[in-house]
Amino acid sequence: MDFSIPGHMQELLGAVRAFLESEVYPLERRDHAKGFKSLLPELARLRVEVKRRGWWLPQIAKEHGGLGLNLVEHGLLSAELGRSPLGHYCFNCQAPDSGNMEILIQFGTPEQQKTYLEPLLRGDIRSCFAMTEPEHAGSNPVWMSTTAVKDGSDYVINGHKWYTSSAEGARFAVVMAVTDPAQEPHFRASMILVPLDNPGYRFVRNIGVMGDVGEDWASHAEVRFEDCRVPQSNLLGAEGMGFAIAQERLGPGRIHHCMRWIGICERSFEIMCKHAAAREVAPGVPLGTRQMVQQWIADSRAEINAARLMVLHAAWMIEQHGAKEARDEISLIKFYVANTQQRVVDRAIQCLGGYGVCDDSVLSHFYRHERPARIYDGPDEVHKQSVAKRILKRHGITIKSGANQ
Ligand SMILES: Cc1cc2nc3c(=O)[nH]c(=O)nc-3n(C[C@H](O)[C@H](O)[C@H](O)COP(=O)(O)OP(=O)(O)OC[C@H]3O[C@@H](n4cnc5c(N)ncnc54)[C@H](O)[C@@H]3O)c2cc1C
């Protein structure tokens, strides 16, 4: 494995860092104070600037209008963008749209691509992904009640979803629904594209998360599908392939998330170190002279370095051998990096004291909004369990597969 970052990437990363510092960081306080919607005109201007600089859609192939970075390269860029909660949005590589773009490119029909993918790539619309249901354990993804029943040339969808991130203001949802309950668990559900101006779609509310209800892209909604009728041509991929497509979506998606968390670690670490050097606990005595603070710095640096190398290696494994071969690495980074991030942000907050928990600092945003990292895309325990089972299998013990069976 080559440890050096190619020259063209170093140049890109440096330019993107400068752009974030001068254009994006200054918006963060307004995000806290007035909400995401108040930033939309400014963010639209920055998106135009990102396009002008040729950085738009970094993760998407050139033939679809993107920058065409491979997974390792996009991982490196994602760590830069993750330094700000607004970074990915400015480049149109934010979740959940980035995952939806990928599956539409891979599985969408020409008509679906024209209607849904093209405006998404242009940044004219947003989307969401509706899989988790309040009545069922999301960590067991084969267990759900939402159904899509064929009627004439349509599907009629009924179901209750929550944590549908970014549903407010989204133009369409990718909905996971059971199309054949008689099938084996992993072949029961399908993904269906649902335009959200459909009369059978009901937006219930944005869910308050750690005291923040959020709005627009920066929100998580509870929604209902009530006799929601869409043409069968809105099926994405083959019927019963919902979980297989979800797996495709999650492999690279976990690299994107994990590198975004590395970006959060790096920004928090930088804030902590600057504060430790500048804050005096007595005249002429900086906080950084205290050994407990030095330990936070040393532990954080070691943990971030380890986490970063693990993610880049997992990205490299996916590129070389495919997501299936890299399953262990993908599970390991998901819980390891989420926990590293939580520890580093927490240490930085402790180091800053009252300023750390105050909304003037981006740390409080990270603490509130990134705690869920250990829950979504598979809780820590599920990843630990599945990687341990695979390891034990190599030692001759076979434990029944399935997240919660
Ligand atoms: C901020 C946020 C954004 C989200 N965005 C989306 C989205 O856009 N679309 C979407 O469909 N969903 C989304 N989700 C939902 C997310 O995927 C689920 O929360 C996740 O799958 C866990 O499901 P659950 O919340 O039902 O927890 P449960 O499955 O009920 O699990 C609860 C807890 O039980 C423990 N547990 C579960 N299984 C095991 C096990 N095998 N062994 C030991 N312990 C276990 C874990 O600690 C887990 O946290 C989001 C969630 C959050 C918090």
Range of lowest pLDDT (101-110, 132-141, 251-260, 344-353)? 251-260
Q: How far apart are the CA of 137 and the centre of ligand 1, in A?
A: 7
Percentage, residues of the chain above pLDDT 70: 98
Nearest ligand 1 atom to alpha carbon 403: 41
The pLDDT score that the predictor gives to residue 15 is 98
Overall size of the chain counted in residues: 405
Residue 184: pLDDT over 90: yes
Angular region, 227: left φ>0, alpha ψ -120 to 50, beta rest: left
Per-residue burial over 124-163, b if 16 or more Cβ lie within 10 Å, else e, is ebbbbbbbbbeeeebbebbbbebbbeeeeebbbbbbbbbb
Q: How far apart are the CA of 136 and the centre of ligand 1, in A?
A: 10
Nearest ligand 1 atom to alpha carbon 378: 21
Residue 392: pLDDT over 50: yes
Nearest ligand 1 atom to alpha carbon 141: 21
- Burial environment of residue 29 by CB neighbours within 10 A (0 to 12, 13 to 18, 19 or more): middle
Ligand 1 contact via 320 beta carbon (within 6 Å): no
Q: How far apart are the CA of 363 and the centre of ligand 1, in A?
A: 24
Name beta bridge partners: 159: 225
Mutational test site, ligand 1, from 139, 381, 387, max ligand atoms within 8 Å of CB: 139
Tell me the average pLDDT across 48-76: 96
Which pLDDT band, with edges at 50, 70 and 90, does 302 fall under? very high
Q: How far apart are the CA of 374 and the centre of ligand 1, in A?
A: 9
Only one residue has tokens 């890299």, namely 326
Ligand 1 contact via 163 beta carbon (within 6 Å): yes
- pLDDT tens string 221-279: 999 999 999 999 999 999 999 999 998 777 788 899 999 999 999 999 999 999 999 99
The C-alpha angle 293, 296, 301, rounded to 5 degrees, equals: 130
Helix, strand, or coil (residue 95): coil
Helix, strand, or coil (residue 395): coil
Q: How far apart are the CA of 380 and the centre of ligand 1, in A?
A: 10
Supply the mean pLDDT for the chain. 95
User: Closest Cα to atom 23, ligand 1: which residue?
Assistant: 138
Ligand 1 contact via 130 beta carbon (within 6 Å): yes
Range of lowest pLDDT (11-15, 28-32, 67-71, 156-160)? 28-32
Tell me the average pLDDT across 22-44: 93
User: Closest Cα to atom 51, ligand 1: which residue?
Assistant: 376
Which pLDDT band, with edges at 50, 70 and 90, does 399 fall under? confident
User: Closest Cα to atom 7, ligand 1: which residue?
Assistant: 164
Q: How far apart are the CA of 152 and the centre of ligand 1, in A?
A: 35
Q: How far apart are the CA of 373 and the centre of ligand 1, in A?
A: 10
CA distance 107 to 85: 30
The pLDDT score that the predictor gives to residue 403 is 45
Phi, psi (rounded to 5 degrees) for 225: -115, 115
Half-sphere exposure of 279 (CA within 13 A, CB side): 17
Half-sphere exposure of 326 (CA within 13 A, CB side): 25
Ligand 1 contact via 385 beta carbon (within 6 Å): yes
Which pLDDT band, with edges at 50, 70 and 90, does 1 fall under? low
Q: How far apart are the CA of 92 and the centre of ligand 1, in A?
A: 26
The pLDDT score that the predictor gives to residue 405 is 46
Mutational test site, ligand 1, from 136, 163, 191, max ligand atoms within 8 Å of CB: 163
Residue 189: pLDDT over 70: yes
CA distance 49 to 274: 30
Tell me the average pLDDT across 363-386: 95
The pLDDT score that the predictor gives to residue 33 is 84
Only one residue has tokens 């997501």, namely 323
Name beta bridge partners: 209: 212
**Contact predicate 233/264, CB 8 Å:** no
Q: How far apart are the CA of 132 and the centre of ligand 1, in A?
A: 8
CA distance 222 to 208: 10
**Contact predicate 173/166, CB 8 Å:** no
Tokens of 225: 């599908």
Ligand 1 contact via 129 beta carbon (within 6 Å): yes
- pLDDT tens string 264-276: 999 999 999 999 9
The string of DSSP letters for 96-142 reads THHHHHHHHHHH--HHHIIIIIHHHHHTS--EEEE---TTS-TTSTT
Which pLDDT band, with edges at 50, 70 and 90, does 31 fall under? confident
Domains and CATH numbers, the chain: 7-122 (1.10.540.10), 127-236 (2.40.110.10), 243-394 (1.20.140.10)
Tokens of 1: 């494995």
Q: How far apart are the CA of 356 and the centre of ligand 1, in A?
A: 28
Q: How far apart are the CA of 382 and the centre of ligand 1, in A?
A: 10
Farthest CA pair distance, the chain = 79
Ligand 1 contact via 220 beta carbon (within 6 Å): yes
Phi, psi (rounded to 5 degrees) for 136: -130, 150
Ligand 1 contact via 164 beta carbon (within 6 Å): yes
SS (H, E, C) 148-173: EEEECCEEEEEEEEEEEECCCCCCEE
Ligand 1 contact via 96 beta carbon (within 6 Å): yes
Tokens of 15: 């330019």
